[in-house]
Structure 1
Amino acid sequence: MTAPRFAVIGVVASDLATSLAFYRRLGLVFPTGAEEQPHVEAELPGGLVLALDSEETVRSFHSRWRPPAGTGRVSLAFRCGSPTGVDALYGELVGAGYRGELEPWDAFWGQRYATVHDPDGNAVDLFAPLPATGE
């Protein structure tokens, strides 16, 4: 199994357009029309990605999600080497006693996806691109 690598910093935005304006002021580049999208990404130096999701987007696949009180809208995400790698790592972590939040599933945006919690309760997402249809 290929070791996972830190790849994405995810932020849930209560107002995506306002968040985009803020991060653009800091020099991040988002696609034209990003304000109309439910999920947007900006590449960071070193190949990391900052991903912004609207609250509605998060609720579309995690109906129990609620905005945290105070801080805590940031999650960590680790890219796995394959979709089966997501399943294996999720199973390994849950088997080691870490709390699973979302079991692995094929997300509508083209990734195998799962969420576990670190020892402090922070969400850590595991993902891998799904093969393109027709391959």
Structure 2
Amino acid sequence: MALRFDLIGMAVADMARSLDFYRRLGLDIPGGAESEDHVEVTLPGGVRLAWDKVSMVRTFHPSWTPPTGSPRTNLAFRCADPAEVDRYWAELTGAGFHGELAPWDAFWGQRYAVLHDPDGNGVDLYAPLGGN
């Protein structure tokens, strides 16, 4: 069997806060999931996104420690249009989530913004400029 990319997993300190962030981006996360140690959803296209409480991660990796510094990997979400980039930015930063780079028109032809989720993971929002 050939390898198939299947899942992105993230360790989270506060499950409820993390799920709130990703729900605000439109992910369909079941109600009541905040009380679980492991939550996952299947994204369009079939890749799964999962969150594990740090306490659960430490049950199989007792010496796990969170990374420090800037994120080395970002999740990128394509928006319908440049106005949607601005709308998500305003909603998420208005709800107290960290905005790293405010929306701007990037030289590569996209409206772009960078947020951090509650655990410091980079989350990019983008949309083509000019309706591409």
TM-score scaled to structure 2, two decimals?
A: 0.52
1:46 maps to 2:49: no
Which residue number corresponds to residue 110 of structure 1?
none
Change (3 A) 1:24 1:54: same
> Which structure would you say has the larger Rg?
2
Alignment coverage as a number of residue pairs: 73
Q: Which amino acid aligns with 2:3?
A: P
Residue segments in structure 2 that go unaligned for 5+ positions in a row: 75-132
TM-score under structure 1 normalisation? 0.51
Structure 2 residue matching 1:6: 3-state secondary structure: coil
Q: Quote the offset at 1:14 in angstroms.
A: 1.4
In structure 1, the gaps of 5 or more residues are 75-135
Summarize the alignment of residues 72-111 of structure 1 with structure 2, pairs less than 5 Å apart. none
- After superposition, what is the alpha-carbon deviation per residue over 1:20-55, rounded to whole angstroms, capped at 9, x for unaligned? 000000011112210000000111110011101111
Partner of 1:3: 2
Quote the residue 2:17 is aligned against: 18
Identity %: 52
CA contact (8 A) 1:67 1:73 kept: no
Q: Secondary structure at the match of 1:45?
A: coil
CA contact (8 A) 1:42 1:49 kept: yes
Across the aligned residues of Structure 1 and Structure 2, the Cα RMSD in angstroms comes to: 1.7
